[in-house]
Amino acid sequence: MEKLSREEAKKRIEWLRKEIWRHNYLYYVLNKPEISDAEYDKLMEELRRLEEMYPEFITPDSPTQRVGAPPAKEFKTVRHVKPMLSLDTAHKEEEVEAFDKRVKRELGVDDVEYVAEPKLDGLSVELVYENGKYVRGSTRGDGINGEDVTENIRTIKAVPLVLRGEELPIPRMLAVRGEVIMHIDDFERLNKELIEKGEEPLANPRNAAAGSLRRLDPRETAQRPLDIFFYEVMLVEGYEIDTQWDALQALKKWGLKVNPHIRKCRDIREAIEYHHEMEKKRENLEYEIDGVVIKVNRFDYQEKLGVKTRSPKWAIAYKFPPRKEETQILDIVVQVGRTGILTPVALLKPVDVKGVTVSRATLHNEDYIKEKDIRIGDWVRVARAGDVIPEVIEVIKERRTGKEKPFKMPSRCPVCRSKVVKEGAYYRCTAGLSCPAQLKRAIAHFASKNAMDIEGLGSQTVDMLVEKGLIKRLSDIYKLKKVDLLRLPRFAEKSAKNLIEAIEKSKERGLARLIYALGIPNVGEHTAKILAEKFRSMDKLMNASMAELLSIKEIGPETAESIINFFKEERNRKEIEELKKLGVKMEYEEEKGKLKGKKFVFTGSLKSMTRGEAKAIVEELGGEVVNTVSKSVDYVVVGENPGSKYEKAKALGLKIINEREFKKLIGMEEEEEKIVPLDKFIGEK
């Protein structure tokens, strides 16, 4: 090694890197290793020694650089290239069949092909590659913004630092979504090590994966046995993909690990059969899955179906039945929710349900208790609904001793002692926001990130402010003074100042978020946006008739009635009037941007900017960038070497513009007197 010239050493380093990348691909993606671990270690050791001798040849994507960053003080926030949506769930075949019927009805077709994939129980992440090199990784976060864990993801050996280009051209930019997981055997070994060290064991593989990835020191993450599967192309530039199945095949060819159990299904029946097969295989897999994900295969169909506020309309998570364990009900207590609904909760003898200690379980309502004949002292089977929320599934009646006690819903609110009334299947405290329990939950919702987003007004602070009498109704939030906060524990000059500023800033959040923040039953974020756009002011919404509400496509009778009843309440109207006096904005403001409502498709390379930069500009100006050419598209922007989208756009007679015209449209460049003809600009194609 010492006899190598500088140029020879450089070539040897490049060869070693390519060879190690190839063996990583064979081992982690194809599961077909060609060499032993000892031989692989020799290659790594030789590369490491050469890089020590010639440090000028070290690059960030070298296999030796998986752990090279210093510990972070905290994770930065990064914006995803595209929202990382959650999924609607189904637990029964009928729900999946209803999903299929809706998809066909909205598409106006008789047949739809699906892709079915295991629903992994891990931590969702976004990875970004530029010109084939890994540049950024982030957690899902709130779906729009996530934590920058670039260096931690770099330590996962199944993550390629450089994409393969042997079978497909490497895209200029690729943003891909994956799931970081920990295998069950690795999780059990890790817990054994932690116990031997006298440390607290981890609850389950998912928590272990999430906690390991979010270590501030990447060297600690590198010590944890993490794996990853990729399943969604979020953005690709320089290569065109038309279906989910083709996307998964492309990911594999670029060296990104895709789950081996994926399947293309001709119809929903095949997808349901796949679910049953995976349920049987579930216990023999090396990692946790809690269901399967069913996606419409064609991207143009996905585009047409669109998305709701937080989930796509072209995919559904078909969950497995929850796992069950036996335990005893020690007592039944009642919780009071934000809208005054009383929910009975079983206090359980703690029991482990697949790695999670469960000591409380929801009993939903009185009808649920009567139907299952649940009593205090009963032995019951408990499951995590969707493997998340614990609930009592059934009573083991053969274990009854006669000492069990029936449960009865209270006639008075357990928190404020106000009268309780029965409404359908539910009981409700009549005190409204004068009930401390309802007030606390209403304020926490009002201040939450997707509502008025008052940073610093979390549940503990809310509890304290209500208990100290500083907040007795929603509008009191805007009457808080810094001097009030400084009298409270945990508040210093800076934290008090920050909260007052956050409260003041929240007055500008806009009508849609205010409507959602008010907590009107059955009105979520999406419905709140629709109401804001339709009525334009809080006054008009408060006085809307049932007929006006029902004329809105997305609003049904139940939601309309909830809105009418909410604004009938005199105290609600007074509270809204008080918020208005305190400066909370109640008018709808048009989104700024001259491209509002315009849809763009990009095809081919742009010289002056990346596709991602162009997309960001369009969105900032109020427009939307879509991936599929259809009649609803307003502009098709054509760069050099365009793909099939250009031909489709010509066939549909869409407005086609070149890069210079696009820059003129967005105000970046004055159009010259003579514009190069489009056919010359794109060549013979």
- Statement: residue 237 has pLDDT above 80: yes
Highest mean pLDDT (candidates 176-190, 636-650, 661-675)? 176-190
* CATH number of the domain residue 449 falls in: 1.10.150.20
Q: Are residues 98 and 231 in the same domain?
A: yes
Domain boundary, last residue among 553, 581, 609:
581
Q: Is 541 helix (H, G, I), strand (E, B) or coil?
A: helix
Give me the mean pLDDT over the 331-357 stretch: 86
Q: Is 390 helix (H, G, I), strand (E, B) or coil?
A: strand
Cα distances from 495 to residues 262, 489, 501, 651, in angstroms, run 50, 11, 10, 60
Distance CA 651, CA 433 (A): 60
What pLDDT, on the 0 to 100 scale, is given for residue 115? Answer: 98
Mean pLDDT of the chain: 87
Phi, psi (5° rounding) for residue 179? -125, 120
What pLDDT, on the 0 to 100 scale, is given for residue 504? Answer: 95
pLDDT tens column, 562-579 = 899 889 988 889 999 999
What pLDDT, on the 0 to 100 scale, is given for residue 418? Answer: 92
Give the global pTM: 0.59
Query: How would residue 99 be classed by pLDDT, with cut points 50, 70 and 90?
Result: very high
What pLDDT, on the 0 to 100 scale, is given for residue 613? Answer: 77
Query: How would residue 71 be classed by pLDDT, with cut points 50, 70 and 90?
Result: low
pLDDT tens column, 600-610 = 999 887 877 87
- Per the domain annotation, does 80 fall within a domain? no
Give me the mean pLDDT over the 143-168 stretch: 92
Distance CA 237, CA 235 (A): 7
Q: Are residues 620 and 669 in the same domain?
A: yes
Q: Are residues 49 and 144 in the same domain?
A: no
Q: Are residues 612 and 676 in the same domain?
A: yes
What pLDDT, on the 0 to 100 scale, is given for residue 354? Answer: 65
Phi, psi (5° rounding) for residue 353? -110, 95
Give, for 335, the enclosing helix (H) or strand (E). strand 324-336
Q: Of 89 and 324, which is predicted with more confidence?
A: 89
Joined tokens for residue 666: 């967005």
Q: Write the single-letter amino acid at 97.
A: E
Q: Would the CA dihedral through 644, 648, 651, 654 be positive or negative?
A: negative
- Per the domain annotation, does 73 fall within a domain? no
- Per the domain annotation, does 475 fall within a domain? yes
Residue environment code for 362-379, b if the CB has 16+ CB neighbours within 10 A, otherwise e: bbbbbeebeebebbbbbb
Query: How would residue 593 be classed by pLDDT, with cut points 50, 70 and 90?
Result: low
Q: How many independent structural domains does the chain possess?
A: 6
* CATH number of the domain residue 660 falls in: 3.40.50.10190
Give me the mean pLDDT over the 88-95 stretch: 92
Q: Are residues 395 and 342 in the same domain?
A: yes
What pLDDT, on the 0 to 100 scale, is given for residue 498? Answer: 93
Distance CA 218, CA 72 (A): 8
- Per the domain annotation, does 532 fall within a domain? yes
| DSSP string across 634-662 | SEEEE-BS--HHHHHHHHHT--EEEHHHH
Domain boundary, last residue among 555, 581, 607:
581
What pLDDT, on the 0 to 100 scale, is given for residue 619? Answer: 79
Q: Are residues 351 and 473 in the same domain?
A: no
Q: Are residues 242 and 114 in the same domain?
A: yes
Q: Are residues 202 and 307 in the same domain?
A: yes
Q: Is 461 helix (H, G, I), strand (E, B) or coil?
A: helix
Joined tokens for residue 540: 């008009």
Give, for 348, the enclosing helix (H) or strand (E). strand 341-353
* CATH number of the domain residue 44 falls in: 1.10.287.610
Contact status, residue 229 vs residue 258, Cβ threshold 8 Å: yes
Joined tokens for residue 463: 């509890």
- Per the domain annotation, does 586 fall within a domain? no
Query: How would residue 683 be classed by pLDDT, with cut points 50, 70 and 90?
Result: very low
Domain boundary, last residue among 506, 532, 551:
506
What pLDDT, on the 0 to 100 scale, is given for residue 452? Answer: 92
Q: Are residues 252 and 121 in the same domain?
A: yes
Q: Are residues 137 and 222 in the same domain?
A: yes
Which residues are tagged catalytic? 119
Joined tokens for residue 661: 């015209």
What pLDDT, on the 0 to 100 scale, is given for residue 490? Answer: 81
Q: Of 233 and 8, which is predicted with more confidence?
A: 233
Domain containing residue 571: 511-581
Give me the mean pLDDT over the 529-548 stretch: 93
Give the contacts of 596 (CB within 8 A, at least 6 positions apart): 590, 621, 622, 623
Scanning 54-122, the segments in alpha helix (DSSP H) are 93-107
Query: How would residue 543 be classed by pLDDT, with cut points 50, 70 and 90?
Result: very high
User: Over pLDDT 90: what percentage of the chain?
Assistant: 48
Contact status, residue 659 vs residue 640, Cβ threshold 8 Å: no
* CATH number of the domain residue 294 falls in: 3.30.470.30
- Statement: residue 669 has pLDDT above 70: no
- Per the domain annotation, does 423 fall within a domain? no
* CATH number of the domain residue 362 falls in: 2.40.50.140
pLDDT tens column, 10-69 = 889 889 988 888 888 887 777 678 888 778 878 888 888 888 888 888 887 788 877 655
Give me the mean pLDDT over the 219-244 stretch: 92
- Per the domain annotation, does 587 fall within a domain? no
Q: What does DSSP assign to residue 243?
A: B
Q: Are residues 474 and 538 in the same domain?
A: no
- Statement: residue 465 has pLDDT above 80: yes
- Per the domain annotation, does 177 fall within a domain? yes
- Statement: residue 195 has pLDDT above 80: no
Q: Of 73 and 516, which is predicted with more confidence?
A: 516
Query: How would residue 592 be classed by pLDDT, with cut points 50, 70 and 90?
Result: low
What pLDDT, on the 0 to 100 scale, is given for residue 680? Answer: 34
Q: Are residues 644 and 530 in the same domain?
A: no
pLDDT tens column, 505-515 = 999 988 999 99
What pLDDT, on the 0 to 100 scale, is given for residue 291? Answer: 94
**Beta-carbon count within 10 A of 598 CB:** 18
- Statement: residue 388 has pLDDT above 60: no
User: Over pLDDT 70: what percentage of the chain?
Assistant: 93
- Statement: residue 387 has pLDDT above 50: no
